[in-house]
Chain A
Amino acid sequence: MTSRRQLQMIGLAASIVALVVLSVIPHLTSATDTQRWAQALYIGMAAMGLNILTGYNGQVSIGHGAFFGLGAYTTALLMHQHGWQFLPTLLVSAPLCFVVGVLIGFPALRVKGLYLALVTLGLAVLFPDLTKHYVHVTGGTNLVALNRTELEPPQWVPTWLSAIGRDDQWAYYVTFALTVVLVIATYLMVRSRFGRALIAVRDHEAAAETVGINAARIKVLAFGLSALYAGLAGSCSVLVDHLANADKVQTFQLSIKFLVAVVIGGAATVIGPLIGAGIVVGLQWFISEVLPRHLGSIGILKRTLGNPAASPAIFGILLILFVFVMPDGIVGGLRRFWARLMSGRSGAPPPTPAPLTT
């Protein structure tokens, strides 16, 4: 138990360091890098949402790109066509995504596991079609691109937040602030009655019901909440990327990114998905931008590692290695590492992997 206590202290210290570092990033890096950090944050927000559903409640979704897109389109259309400021749009997009999430959650009560994954995949496939049918904005396409003036921070924002005409700082700080809010909300939630109910339903639905938990209500609420997180992430993406867009490939890839962030960061941990998102975005940047630039003079390396076409393959291989080395994600891996360090050689042997269940 002392080791758990120490772990919490270390976690707290690391969080404070992370908070400080993340607060000053826009003042240290270029606009492009600031944007990349903000992208990692919004992918982390959506992954945190998926984690509520998948990590804590055991329902797998590979369609959260659709909720993300719904949030993004709601914000983008309100800002671009109705002249709203960014922050008020959150009051629309968050409840809307929650309600749609709940509606999707009802049929999800009847399908489980991989079948549920397939149903949510359908969601990711359907959403871009809906936008193509109903949205005709920039150049008559389903793209909603925002003008620079529409992205400007409101008057009351102090200049150190928005800095000298750089809207990327405003976008970053808004995303950062929302991420912090969601981290605290998740932390409180998983330690509440509701959080314990989520876990109970995941671990043993029938047993949970015998102690008075309404499993159906919990599962539907988990769906709604996770959609709300994804929707907020989508809203932030409009501010960061200056547009809302939905294509099948991207919506699907985004859904997978969220899932990958959850898995490599650590499912059913509060901060894991955020770390996972940082790794996903960082790796992709490193593989598709840094490697090609620095391998330029070495013929064979340039043709293989430095080739942008190879980047998804390299990314895939690295992820496979990740999953094998840290099967319970970064956070889980660090916990085990810490436990082993504290207990010394006399300590408990590493936990044997649980049998594969579906």
Chain B
Amino acid sequence: MNHRGRDRRGASNSLRALALCTVLALAFAACGSSRRSGNTTGNTGASTPGGTTPIVDTSNCPAGQDSVGVSGNTITLGTSLPESGLYAPFTAILKGERSYFNYLNAQGGVEVPKGSGKKYQIKLVDKDDAYDAARTVTNVNSLINDTKVFSLFNVVGTKNNLGARDTVNSDCVPDLLIASGAVQWGNTKFPWMLGSELVPYPLEVRVFVDYLKKNKPNAKIAVLKANDDFGQSYAETLTELIKGTNLTVVQTQGYDPESSDVKSAVTSLAATKADAFLLGATLLACPNALTAMGDAGWKPIVYMSGTCVSKLLLGAAGKNADGLLTVTPLVDPADPGNASLPAMQLYMQQVKKYSDADATDGIVAYGWTTAALMARILENSPKLTRSSVMETARNFKDGKGIGLELPGATWDTSATDWFLGETFQLITYDATAGHTKPLGPLVNLDGKTAELSPQSLLHS
């Protein structure tokens, strides 16, 4: 009896040691993220759209739920994003959003509909999901059922939103301005979801192919892609678009999207001496790939996914990032040349006032602009109901001059066009200056996303 007890404790000693080690590892993973700031927001309006045939079918929606989330003069929005764990840097988005909504609320709030004189404060409730789709679904259910939000706003991640797809569509709760450039938001079976102004991934490939056709029509292309639907969007679209051209793909290498270890894949690609390099990768895999490319002495024309446009990621690649091509839907806050723009001045001033975020970080600018886009959609809605706001977002025509949107760009949608961010800028990175520079005029591919997208992703 006693002997057994001792041995049992012996076994649990090593167990304890193991548990402690892993707990420490998890604790370290928690470091290096950010804090959140105050809440609430609002803004001023413009005009109301006319009544046409509705795009969003509301016949199966639950009764009496259309105005949930509006109480008195407050509209409650809900979001879920990684505030802890490996993806915690995305918390910068929330800082940009809060800065905008706080600024708007201080101006009196958002006027719905525009011109009615009735202003509402915006309250944004955030929940942490650590980028785990199961936790996002729990958060979304809780935001809908407990918090009783009017609409979801800028929930981060492709799978995270796909997990909640059935819920938002059967409860008829708008899942607006999803923080993902995935093409799945163009699936017409699920009208209650809309992607944000991020450039849909297939359009990036189109721009790159057009660039090569003009500058290097016989280019051999090497492709690095994440082994998931995100990487597939790049690789499949490229295969489609080079049909009938003299462009060829010499080699495609996949990498594990969760490890960001791409060195061997890139070394193998470098051995092909290809003329062009398509980086269908994201986050740390981008600087890692660029560094590996530089180490191998390979100097192709590089196109890097727009999801990697961040001061931090590009800075990590340093000299190796010089001259690469990518796209952005926004004015770069890191470029001192943009400092004189009134929109930029307002942004810099308000972000400094309401948050501790680094205003030159493109992720903060994205949060700010997406919040401004949300306010613009609300004020264009003829009624403050979920169905009216969703219908407005689906048939959005007032898409100019929002937040840090590029001057001259338009973000719009229609019955046949389910994507907002189809006007954007091809940019190149200047490593010496430490910021990006525009290359050529604005690219307008309005309404083109659906036809360029891999159909297997669009309809499943």
Contacts and interface: CB of A to CB of B under 8 A. Distances in A.
Contacts of A117: 18
A141 B83 contact: no
A141 B12 contact: no
B13 A316 contact: no
Contact of B11 (A147, A256, A357): A357
Interface string A234-249: 0001000111010111
Interface string B184-222: 100100000000000000000000000000000000000
B7 interface: yes
Given A32-B141, A351-B6, A357-B14, 8 more contacts: A140-B229, A242-B167, A243-B133, A243-B163, A247-B132, A260-B19, A309-B33, A357-B10
A94 interface: no
Contact of B232 (A60, A140, A199): A140
Counting chain A CB atoms within 10 Å of each CB, the highest count among B29, B170, B258 belongs to B258
A203 to B, nearest CB: 5
B4 interface: yes
A148 interface: yes
A241 B19 contact: no
B408 interface: no
Interface stretch (B85-93, B322-330, B394-402, B428-436): B85-93
22 contacts: A31-B141, A32-B145, A114-B18, A117-B18, A143-B159, A146-B166, A148-B170, A202-B7, A242-B137, A256-B26, A260-B22, A308-B84, A308-B128, A309-B31, A309-B84, A311-B84, A316-B23, A316-B24, A319-B20, A323-B20, A353-B9, A353-B13
B67 interface: no
Interface in B10-63: 10-20, 22-24, 26-27, 29-36
B335 interface: no
Interface of A: 30-32, 35, 54-55, 58, 60, 62, 113-114, 117, 128-129, 132-133, 136-143, 145-148, 199, 202-203, 237, 241-243, 245, 247-250, 253, 256, 259-260, 262-264, 267-268, 288-289, 292, 302-303, 307-313, 315-317, 319-320, 323, 327-329, 351, 353-358
B457 A356 contact: no
B282 to A, nearest CB: 14
B451 to A, nearest CB: 17
A58 B29 CA distance: 29
Contacts of A62: 18, 22
Contact of B84 (A113, A242, A312, A323): A312
Q: Which 8 A/B pairs are nearest by Cβ-Cβ distance?
A: A309-B33, A316-B27, A312-B30, A308-B83, A308-B128, A139-B184, A140-B457, A248-B258
Contacts, number: 222
Contacts of A303: 35
B71 interface: no
Counting chain B CB atoms within 10 Å of each CB, the highest count among A245, A289, A308, A328 belongs to A308
A358 B10 CA distance: 8
A148 B7 CA distance: 49
A312 B27 contact: yes
A245 B18 CA distance: 26
B145 A356 contact: no
B256 interface: yes
Interface of B: 4-20, 22-24, 26-27, 29-36, 83-86, 88, 91, 127-128, 131-134, 137-138, 141-142, 145-146, 158-159, 162-167, 170, 182, 184, 187, 227-229, 232, 256, 258-259, 454, 456-457, 460
Nearest to B132: A250
Contacts of B14: 60, 113-114, 356-358
A263 B128 contact: no
B137 A241 contact: yes
A245 B131 CA distance: 12
Nearest to A309: B33
Counting chain B CB atoms within 10 Å of each CB, the highest count among A32, A139, A263, A329 belongs to A139
Contact of B133 (A55, A60, A245, A256): A245
A357 B158 contact: no
A356 B146 contact: no
A230 to B, nearest CB: 16
A245 B164 CA distance: 13
B181 to A, nearest CB: 13
Counting chain B CB atoms within 10 Å of each CB, the highest count among A316, A351, A353 belongs to A316
Contacts of A140: 184, 229, 232, 454, 456-457, 460
Contacts of A329: 12
A327 B84 contact: no
A207 B10 CA distance: 18
A303 B38 CA distance: 11
Nearest to A241: B134
Contacts of B6: 351, 354
Contact of A141 (B18, B84, B132, B229): B229
Contact of B137 (A128, A243, A313): A243
Contact of B5 (A242, A262, A351, A357): A351
Given A145-B162, A307-B36, A263 B16 contact: yes
A302 B405 CA distance: 33
B145 A30 contact: yes
Nearest to A288: B128
A292 B163 CA distance: 25
B371 to A, nearest CB: 20
A143 B141 contact: no
Contacts of A267: 8, 11-12, 15
Nearest to B88: A309
Contacts of A320: 20, 23
A13 to B, nearest CB: 24
A132 B228 contact: yes
A328 B8 CA distance: 9
A309 B83 contact: yes
A141 B15 contact: no
Contacts of B11: 55, 58, 202, 267-268, 357
Contacts of A243: 133-134, 137, 163
Contacts of B23: 256, 260, 315-316, 319-320
Contact of A54 (B15, B31, B36, B457): B15
Contacts of A302: 35
A245 B129 CA distance: 14
B22 A313 contact: no
A342 B182 CA distance: 64
Nearest to B39: A296
A309 B15 contact: no
Contacts of B12: 55, 263, 267-268, 327-329
Counting chain A CB atoms within 10 Å of each CB, the highest count among B11, B18, B85 belongs to B11
Given A143-B159, A145-B162, A328 B138 contact: no
Given A199-B4, A307-B36, A312-B29, A139 B457 contact: yes
Contacts of A245: 132-134, 159, 163
A141 B9 contact: no
Counting chain A CB atoms within 10 Å of each CB, the highest count among B18, B88, B128 belongs to B18
A44 to B, nearest CB: 17
A302 B6 CA distance: 44
Contact of B182 (A139, A309, A357): A139
Contacts of A199: 4
